Amino acid sequence: MTMPVPRLSPIRLPHLRLPAVAVPRPVRIVFGFLGRLLLRIVTAILSAVAEVYLGLTHRVARIIHGVIMGMLRFAVGLVRFAIRFAIGLVRALFGLDRQDAETVTRARLKLIVLAFCLIFVAIAGRLTFLGIVADPNGGRGGGSDAVASARPDIVDRNGDILAIDVKSPSLFAEPRRLIDPDEALEGLLKVLPDLDVAEARARLNSGKGFAWLKREITPSQQRAIYRLGLPGIGFVRENRRVYPDGPTISHVLGGVNIDNQGIAGLEKYIDGNGLSELHLAGLAVDRQQEPVQLSMDVRVQNAVRDELMRAKDKFKAKAAMGVVTDVRTGEIIAMVSLPDFDPNIGGNPKDDAYLNRLTTGVFEMGSTFKALSFAMALDSGRIGLNSSFDARGALSFGRFKINDYHAENRVLTVPEIFLVSSNVGTAKMVLSLGVEAHKAFLRKMGQLDRLRTELPESSEPIVPRRWGELNSATIAFGHGLSVAPLQAVMAVNSMVNGGYLIPPTFLKRNEAEAQKVAVRVLKPETSDKMRYLLRLNAEKGTAGKSEVPGYLVGGKTGTAEKVVNGRYAKNKLLTSFTAVFPMDRPHYLVLVMLDEPQALPETHGYATAGWNAAPTSGKIIERIAPMLGVMPRQNLPNAEQILRASEPAQKVADRR
């Protein structure tokens, strides 16, 4: 039904007459004409505006009328559909129009399917509503509202638990449901006196749908709060990471944040290798993740840590470090850096205890680094065990002089240079091969690039910008080049395992897997000669105090002066000892380092590695060797016999 548009007649206004004024006739004519013209213009404009207004009003009325009628028709249709559907549903349920059993069954199946669809639609709608309304700004101290995610267990090489998730209650509030926030806060403070009052009050009065109050409370605290009977206060059980051994393996395992996400060490490595993606996809569910098995042995770790703590206290050192590796596979069996920290307790990552000195720290390794110089010389083919070098007097480079700690002042053979740890002899030996050859060898041995392992924390070596003869001379005996201790360990492993450079790993690996990533860097005969020198040093040289009866230990001491204000300080030493056992069939390497150990009366006033790091290594080997399946033996060969026994193998290798 349409409404007719009313036809408008023009608006007529009364004729305006100007009052009689004594003005000239021409002026009256002009003003009269202008007045009539203006009047007609105004009249036309007003007529047009009125017509437009009435037209728009009519159209709006028609639109409103159409909408109302449409809504009425829709409502009537909906009511009719509901009535018909209800009648059909009743007839179907009571079988009023059933024709046969098959038709009735089909009708009932359709009814069931329809009911399930309605239920799922309702659930989906509710979830969508909760997702939109949920408060995204809860959290405690920067934590998120997400419940702490599940993580896989971490076990050592023997299956002993090193890290595990346990269920822990966390306290939250629904501020919208609170009756009296102040009363609730007063009750909570009786159970949780350490609660931040200002922060908790702000959260309780926020009027939001959700807010964390305290993560990871104890079961007794949960029971006490539950008994308060506070509406709008609840608990959620979430995963909490627990480290049963406390600080024992802290630098390797690292730690997690309040949401159970890895932030350091192997925990961060695990997240970076797929776990974080599983969490985002919602697939990281408890007990559905395989444990991560490490190469570490917690028994060996405890023994190494115990001996290092004793040595640190005995020699009043600032820090102590130790690592045990399998030279055949590159597996790290134990790694200790003291001081350490307890990952179960939060702390400041900037504290000294959080620094893993074996991977993140870089040091001038001192005479321990001489082993690389001897390996380079012997592997070149130009220098043999019978070669000799003049060690009489200092080696001069302009105003710089290189001296020996205990100068022999004579011509020394290669084994003698190793035994007396001659700086002059070692420098001359390296310089005879050339600076470029020295750089190429150290790069091949992995000493000039950052060492990458499963631990995210690592540091670049500090390499001279301009590498000349003086640099090669000092680097030859362990000064002028700073590396991570684990880098040096990797190189020494290759000297005794037959010449293979194997990247170290914290994950369990067998010898076959190790050979796939191994790179030959030394000749087999070079490795045999290095084993001879290392064992000879324990028999006759500076490594004598590391000797453990029955285990055929060999090694090299290292004493480096630390740099203080750009100068080497003679009273601040970094001592180290690299031990390998058993030397006739090398299997394990032990590195011990002490930072600024002090001289004792029993060391006769010396603070060098032979008096502190070497005996500490011997004590560690004595404790861990049986754990690693290395039993003491009798009638062990000496260094000369080890070298002679390797000669047939060298000839076979040459023929191949």
* The token pair that represents 576 in the structure block: 């180290």
Query: For residues 396-411, b (16+ Cβ closer than 10 Å) or e, as one string?
Result: eeeeeebebeeebeee
* The token pair that represents 539 in the structure block: 């028999």
Per-residue pLDDT tens for 194-237?
A: 888 899 899 988 888 888 898 888 889 989 998 988 888 989 88
Q: Is 576 a catalytic residue?
A: no
How far is it, in rounded angstroms, from Cα 73 to Cα 406? Answer: 110
How far is it, in rounded angstroms, from Cα 480 to Cα 492? Answer: 19
What sign has the CA pseudo-torsion 479, 482, 484, 486? negative
Given a cut of 70, whether residue 270 has pLDDT beyond it is yes
Please state the rounded mean pLDDT for residues 425-433.
95
**β-bridge pairing 211-214 and 319-326:** unpaired
pLDDT at 144: 40
pLDDT at 400: 85
Given a cut of 70, whether residue 6 has pLDDT beyond it is no
- Give the residue among 194, 205, 189 at the shortest CA–CA distance from 141: 194
Least confident piece of the model among 87-91, 346-350, 599-603: 87-91
Q: Half-sphere exposure (CA, 13 Å, Cβ side) for 484?
A: 25
Q: Identify which has the larger pLDDT, 389 or 655.
A: 389
The reported pTM is 0.72
Domain ranges (residues) in the chain: 154-293, 300-646
* The token pair that represents 453 in the structure block: 């392992």
Per-residue pLDDT tens for 296-341?
A: 999 999 999 999 999 999 999 999 999 999 999 999 999 999 999 9
How far is it, in rounded angstroms, from Cα 560 to Cα 583? Answer: 26
Contact in structure between 488 and 475 (CB atoms under 8 Å): no
Given a cut of 60, whether residue 384 has pLDDT beyond it is yes
The domain 154-293 having CATH identifier 3.90.1310.10: the answer here is yes
Please state the rounded mean pLDDT for residues 531-541.
94
pLDDT at 357: 94
Q: Identify which has the larger pLDDT, 656 or 285.
A: 285
Given a cut of 60, whether residue 630 has pLDDT beyond it is yes
- Give the residue among 370, 398, 343, 315 at the shortest CA–CA distance from 614: 315
Q: Identify which has the larger pLDDT, 25 or 163.
A: 163
Residue ranges with strand state E in 14-92: none
pLDDT at 146: 47
Share of the chain above pLDDT 90, in %: 52
CATH label, 300-646, candidates 3.10.20.70, 2.40.10.230, 3.40.710.10, 3.20.20.70: 3.40.710.10
pLDDT at 70: 80
pLDDT at 137: 37
How far is it, in rounded angstroms, from Cα 141 to Cα 469? Answer: 55
Per-residue pLDDT tens for 488-520?
A: 999 999 999 999 999 999 999 999 999 999 999
Per-residue pLDDT tens for 46-83?
A: 777 777 777 777 777 778 877 888 888 888 888 887 78
Round the average pLDDT of the chain to a whole number and report it.
85
pLDDT at 13: 44
Q: How many Cβ atoms sit within 10 Å of the Cβ of residue 263?
A: 14
Given a cut of 90, whether residue 125 has pLDDT beyond it is no
pLDDT at 435: 95
**β-bridge pairing 395-397 and 154-155:** unpaired
Given a cut of 90, whether residue 133 has pLDDT beyond it is no
pLDDT at 388: 94
pLDDT at 481: 94
pLDDT at 407: 82
Least confident piece of the model among 108-112, 363-367, 393-397, 420-424: 108-112
- Give the residue among 325, 298, 378 at the shortest CA–CA distance from 643: 378
HEC states along 173-200?
ECHHHCCCHHHHHHHHHHHCCCCCHHHH
Please state the rounded mean pLDDT for residues 539-558.
92
Question: What DSSP string runs through 493-504?
Answer: HHHHTTSEE---
Is the backbone peptide bond immediately before 582 cis, with ω within 30 degrees of 0?
Answer: yes
Is the backbone peptide bond immediately before 247 cis, with ω within 30 degrees of 0?
Answer: no
396, containing H or E segment: strand 395-397
Q: How many Cβ atoms sit within 10 Å of the Cβ of residue 129?
A: 10
Question: What DSSP string runs through 114-136?
Answer: HHHHHHHHHHHHHHHHHHHHS-S
CA distances from 232 to 145, 221, 322, 586 (A): 17, 17, 53, 66
Least confident piece of the model among 60-74, 267-281, 561-575: 267-281
Per-residue pLDDT tens for 150-197?
A: 889 999 999 999 999 888 889 999 998 888 888 888 889 999 998 888
Is the backbone peptide bond immediately before 193 cis, with ω within 30 degrees of 0?
Answer: no
Q: Which of 168, 206, 295, 367 is catalytic?
A: 367
Given a cut of 50, whether residue 136 has pLDDT beyond it is no
Please state the rounded mean pLDDT for residues 32-38.
76
* The token pair that represents 399 in the structure block: 């105003």
Asked, colleague to colleague, whether 154-293 and 300-646 share their fold, the answer is no
How far is it, in rounded angstroms, from Cα 574 to Cα 593? Answer: 7
